[in-house]
A and B are shown apart, each in its own frame.
Chain A
Amino acid sequence: MSKIASAVLSIAAVAGLAAMSGCGSTTVRAAVKGDKDRKAAPDFMLKDADGKTVHLSDYKGKVVLLDFWATWCGPCKIEIPWFMEFEQQFKDKGFAVLGVSMDEDGWGAVKPYLERMKVNYRIVLGNDKVGDQYGGVDSLPTTFLIDRQGRIASMHVGLTGGKEDFKNDIANLLASSHASVHAPGSGVLAFFHRPN
């Protein structure tokens, strides 16, 4: 195949994928990837409801459930109580939930919602740049499970699977990565990919 034909096909493939994503998204529940197939979760710097700066890398050594959501997203509302329960159940085992609100209207919209739902985990205000780092986040909820090494272990687009699926995945990640990760401060820590 000539280089030109190859290039045209490559562009066509990208255009096709872009067109497919533009036509609306499909829910996806990816199984937890094998250890060797996981890629570094992009680091970010966002503000929480108290105005404090939060980096994903602050969570190094923990299993993190990273949830992209919004106040106007009905299906997200189903998952939030699950995540509150996980936060409560697993926080002492090296687990944390981090919600990334994609609300354009900012804290004015988000804070009343957090009060109504009595959310017990940390929320940061996201933006398109962070969404792009995570593949676009065109559909909400989009949730990533990140292992203790700071790698994306699984991705859920839309309300897929159920509470027990998430719970099992979290428990497995906590169990499987516990032995292989040194405690914070021991010299070998999770690494996060900081984008340029």
Chain B
Amino acid sequence: MFTLLAAASWHSSIAQTSPALSIAPPAPVTIKRGGEADLKLKAEVRPGFHVNSNAPADEFLIPLKLTWPKEPIEAEQISFPKPQFEKYAFSEKPVSVFSGNFEIVTRFKAPANAQPGSVPIAGKLRFQACNEKECLPPRTIDVRVTLNVQ
């Protein structure tokens, strides 16, 4: 019974993990009032699978999307890496995807009048994963980070 409870506890501690894509818990980011700071999210796609990039070529494909709340600290820019263009049996033209390990960089900008201290922020990462034979339903996972405002 202890094993089951421990397993349940372990699962709840990896809330940022999903079957096909996982995000390493990000380290706190220090940001100065009125300044900017970058957060690097390290993503890993399960071997054999891919997720659509942030700009898939087909209108029916679900793009990778990272969103952050506008307050109290705004995400000024979100940068995705250069995608891979892979040809699959189901696609007439190459599909824009991410696989393996990749980074998403968010540039936060703190207001000049921001209160110093720790600011927890929760973003959402939406993705949809497939391999050559099957697709998994789209999922949204929480991404939590602490911004230390100085």
Residues of chain A having any CB pair with chain B under 8 Å: 8, 11-12, 15, 19, 22-25, 27, 70-78, 102, 104, 109, 113, 138-141, 157-160
Contacts and interface: CB of A to CB of B under 8 A. Distances in A.
B54 to A, nearest CB: 15
Contacts of B91: 74
Given A71-B60, A77-B90, A27 B19 contact: no
Interface string B22-50: 00000000000000000000000010010
Interface centre among B1, B62, B135, B136 (most CB of A within 10 A): B135
B15 interface: no
Contact of A78 (B1, B90, B138): B90
B81 to A, nearest CB: 22
B3 interface: yes
Given A22-B19, A23-B19, A12 B3 contact: yes
Q: Report, as a range, how many residues of chain B touch the other chain.
A: 20 to 34
A11 B4 contact: yes
Interface string B126-147: 0010101111111000000000
16 contacts: A12-B4, A19-B7, A22-B19, A24-B20, A72-B60, A73-B130, A75-B132, A75-B135, A77-B90, A78-B89, A109-B60, A113-B60, A138-B137, A139-B134, A139-B135, A159-B134
A140 B49 CA distance: 14
B75 interface: no
Give the interface SS of chain B, mostly helix, strand, loop or mixed.
loop
Contacts of B136: 24-25, 138-140
A1 to B, nearest CB: 15
B134 A72 contact: no
Contacts of A139: 134-136
Contact of A75 (B60, B95, B133, B138): B133
Given A27-B134, A73-B130, A75-B135, 12 more contacts: A8-B1, A11-B4, A15-B7, A24-B19, A24-B49, A73-B135, A74-B90, A74-B130, A75-B90, A76-B135, A77-B90, A140-B136
Interface string B6-28: 01000000000001100000000
B85 interface: no
Q: Pick the 5 closest A-B CB pairs, nearest first.
A: A158-B134, A74-B90, A73-B135, A158-B133, A71-B60
B15 to A, nearest CB: 13
A141 B138 contact: no
A181 B32 CA distance: 77
B135 A74 contact: yes
Nearest to B130: A74
